[in-house]
Amino acid sequence: MSAEELAEGAVARARRKAALDAVFGEVLPGDRPVASETHSDRWLMENRPPHHG
């Protein structure tokens, strides 16, 4: 692959991401932290849904 082909691929990926973000917002995996990274284990246990026993 030439450098030009790589650049064209990067542009295509950026356009696709922009189109998806326009429709769905910026909520694709990797865009936001995981709950376990923002809350303690205690908070997660206190706020778990009742069906998770």
pLDDT category at 11 given cuts 50, 70, 90 is very high
Mean pLDDT on 29-35: 63
Q: What angle do CA 9, 12, 16 make, to 5 degrees?
A: 140
What pLDDT shows up at residue 12? 93
What pLDDT shows up at residue 44? 81
Q: Which residues contact 47 (CB under 8 A, 6 or more apart)?
A: 39
Least confident of 1-5, 7-11, 27-31, 40-44: 27-31
Compute the CA torsion angle 19, 23, 27, 29 (nearest 10 deg): -50
Domain count of the chain? Answer: 1
30's torsion region: left (phi>0), alpha (psi -120 to 50) or beta? left
Which residues form the domain of 31?
3-52
Are the C-beta atoms of 28 and 20 separated by less than 8 Å? yes
